[in-house]
Chains A and B, each alone.
Chain A
């Protein structure tokens, strides 16, 4: 499906709570705080909101937000599936809700107590695992880090990659987080040696390869480009969006398809995105690449066409993905070092890069790329000045 809203819509407001280990309040409350902040940023009153959209993993459904905020005029609402693969797909659908004329102002929100509440990296003593999960969980591959180590190992086997090379990713993102007072790891430097010395969790991955676990919420508002021009904020135009499942796709394990080092869903999403945008990797000034696990950033860079398969370790070497480098990535610190709002905070940072308000601002940004989770049916978007 073509999803090409080229500049018909814009993200006109962004909001977030603090990112912490323990928010001390409900996910509903966090959602309200983030949504109010986004509306204030846009200069839009709650009564003007007529669309609501979130991801399937969110604990706060649209009805709860309506009741918590007294939203009286919601006329269209949607939930986009596939967890970490969904965030840019939410933007895609929000943009379509606006571009179709169904809505004037769509609020997108994601709220989670992922550290103090239900942690994705641990499980209760769940006794039975359905479908394909039953094919790996009984052998001790139960959570995402354990699943993903299999793919990381294949990068070592196929491309001869080393942990020394992988270190470039978490260290660069941490440097960016150290400039960002909102980041959970703001005051925590990370050296290459720290990375190399870290004990293995699910070998070959260590804790610095894993994203954070975070309590917090983010929200943003999508409006028409025409309305955006009369609002208070600097619009980040939705230049193009894309979703794709690829085939076959097995939620975040993908052990059964041809390659473990190519994401069919990411390749398909990239093809859709470049076609819809009329752009290519060389046109991108700054990117937020979904970083649930550091080595998968390398796979994503290849799948989106920034370099050839197997060459991403060389692509990221020597500070090329750090601020001042050829393609700065995850400039707020990413999911590895800013916080893990299931990929949604990457969209906010993509907007800041267009506005010129990032704490690791790239000069003269025209096109800002955001991608969602590799390994699940996924999505991506290009924001434009």
Chain B
């Protein structure tokens, strides 16, 4: 989605210390999900500690990048001006193989998105700090 520069900046994450690992990994085109070294819980969104065993140690596990569409939204009237000339667009909620869910964009037309559709993580470089998730639709149909 490399387009002409919009008059307004694209909405981007404010990277804080708790989320830094996630975003740094995405920038390297990796999916790192927080996994508690003590109780092995998969933790997403990232937390400053393990909410299950309260371990202060944080660990990270590489995700396969494969998942299935759990739900999705097709936006026909954009609320944020950056998206105004990009409608209609789909945002997908994907359940990853490891069991956590994550939001991303998808590289197929919105009307082709289906529940349960297999997808694979792709990456869209935005700037020196941020890459965003853009799923590839591995659509058998």
Contact = CB atoms under 8 A, between A and B. Distances in A.
Nearest to B115: A157
Interface residues of B, number: 44
B49 to A, nearest CB: 13
Nearest to A205: B73
Contacts, number: 127
Given A140-B91, A143-B80, 16 more contacts: A125-B81, A125-B82, A126-B11, A128-B12, A128-B14, A130-B16, A131-B45, A133-B13, A137-B11, A139-B132, A140-B83, A142-B80, A151-B71, A154-B70, A199-B76, A260-B70
B37 to A, nearest CB: 20
26 contacts: A123-B79, A123-B80, A125-B81, A125-B82, A127-B9, A128-B11, A128-B13, A129-B12, A130-B13, A130-B14, A131-B45, A138-B11, A139-B103, A139-B132, A140-B75, A141-B91, A150-B73, A150-B93, A151-B71, A153-B73, A154-B70, A200-B74, A202-B75, A255-B93, A255-B101, A260-B70
Interface in A140-190: 140-143, 145-146, 149-151, 153-154, 157
Contacts of B102: 135
A132 B73 contact: no
B103 to A, nearest CB: 4
Given A134-B14, A150-B93, A125 B75 contact: no
B62 interface: no
Interface in A96-152: 121-123, 125-143, 145-146, 149-151
A203 interface: yes
Q: Specify which of B77, B80, B86 lies most central, judged by the most chain A CB atoms within 10 Å of its CB.
A: B80
Interface string B106-141: 000000000100000000001000101100000000
A154 B49 CA distance: 30
Given A134-B14, A141-B91, A146 B73 contact: yes
B10 interface: yes
A201 interface: yes
B45 A256 contact: yes
Contacts of B10: 127, 138
B15 interface: yes
Contacts of B89: 140
